[in-house]
A = this chain, B = another copy of it.
């Protein structure tokens, strides 16, 4: 794959599909016993996602990580009884060697960056399950854990390391490949595990890693156990943690049925989302449809509806659509969101989620919406929202407007368009805008929007449930511009054409900087600070040039470094 920055979908005609299910897993084994699930990594060497490398030593590629993501999602929804998840290796004397190096070496810049972003999001999803779902991840390191292998462990809340005199944890990326550990490792060391920076420095520059008591003393792992006692120690810890979970022991999970999608050359259709690509303009037009019927009457009806319950179906479809567009449609640089539907129905669904927030399934659905909107925020695409008559930017869907880099709302109606509604558009806040759906920096999108005028959040809150026309929305600060019928088409077209004329790289850096004013969290630091440095390093000749370490790995040749510090 040449280093052009385009993703494999466009370059090879090969589309990466993010949908899978346990019966299709090649690399992970999922087993459940009582309240404890076990995810065992057993990578099939000869089953890489893209030809050209072997997945030796339980190393992973995007295909392996797509399965992990699927398992993490299903455990939450299909297994309410599971209170602890043990991540371990099914292979003897090796835990995981991290991301496959040959795969990285042959990948273009865009693919590498996308791969890291997705693996980061999956590890964040594990931490979200531990923090918010009562499904806590534990890592049983039963052999050497190198690079991404140790980073996988770092995403767990408790790390057991086998104390066999040889198994180590290591982050050898820098000495071996001249790149950073790309999946949050550096940030989790100092921010999550609060490892001292000089200790972290030593770890990250030491090829062979650190074992046993020093790993424990330096906070790199939480517990040691000898080989003879390792399984029992893992089982004991898992059981102890599972007992503390608030998940219901005897509830029935729901089933994730296969996503229904129809893909054309320039189109993608889900039940609730339709996407039309304007390749000339570099735009993906994304239309989100509101619910077509009233929500289920009560919690048991929500459970009975399963994955056809509108908010859950929407989250799954939007999640899949974002992943597809990010990796397979890299030249659609602007995502234009519209909605269509009945605002009162959206509000009714929001309210049923809010009213039943303590139910385990409702909690999961809300958390899934949260994670999906976070995925949107960290996507390297310009986000533009268009609010037109017939739309339903209400509550959860209003977040699509608040997330956008720009939001245009039509003042009035389209007078000459017989297909358009003759009722002006209105946006409507619900309780979902004031807490349940925070960004990666921990703020709601409204809080982030109004850092300079915290009162403005209260002013919006006072309008909860109210339909706000363009003028009111502008005054409350919810939208950027409100052109009328006369100006709308020109103003929107010009904005999109202009956007398409800019350098995609500069837009990515700008958007990543402007979207996250205010405080930072471990999560925001991973996508901001860490990933930005890694992107830079991925682009530097010392790593990715012809004589770079990542490029030459495995050839026996030694990398030649430019010794100048920048």
Q: Which residue of B lies closest to A11 (CB)?
A: B564
- Nearest chain B CB to A431 CB, angstrom units: 23
Select the stretch in A24-32, A198-206, A306-314, A315-323 that faces chain B: A198-206
Select the stretch in A184-192, A293-301, A346-354 that faces chain B: A184-192
Q: Which of A189, A518, A539, A543 has the most CB of B within 10 A?
A: A539
- Nearest chain B CB to A134 CB, angstrom units: 25
- Counting CB contacts under 8 A, is A506 at the interface? yes
Given contacts A519-B519, A565-B504, contact A404 B198 (CB under 8 A): yes
- A561 to B507 alpha-carbon distance, docked (Å): 12
Q: For A194, list chain B residues within 8 Å (CB).
A: 451-453, 517
Given contacts A190-B451, A201-B405, A503-B543, 8 further A-B contacts (CB under 8 A): A173-B506, A178-B505, A180-B513, A191-B451, A198-B480, A332-B565, A506-B537, A516-B529
Contact of A333 among B6, B114, B563 (CB under 8 A): B563
- A330 to B566 alpha-carbon distance, docked (Å): 7
Contact of A564 among B195, B405, B480, B504 (CB under 8 A): B504
Q: Which residue of B lies closest to A334 (CB)?
A: B565
Q: Which of A187, A326, A498, A506 has the most CB of B within 10 A?
A: A506
Q: For A566, list chain B residues within 8 Å (CB).
A: 5, 109-110, 113-114, 330, 380, 504-505, 508, 535
Contact of A503 among B333, B452, B561 (CB under 8 A): B561
Contact indicator A502/B535 (Cβ below 8 Å): no
- Counting CB contacts under 8 A, is A92 at the interface? no
- Counting CB contacts under 8 A, is A533 at the interface? yes
- Counting CB contacts under 8 A, is A486 at the interface? no
Q: For A453, list chain B residues within 8 Å (CB).
A: 194
Contact of A198 among B179, B332, B407 (CB under 8 A): B407
Q: For A500, list chain B residues within 8 Å (CB).
A: 563
Contact indicator A563/B282 (Cβ below 8 Å): yes
- Counting CB contacts under 8 A, is A540 at the interface? yes
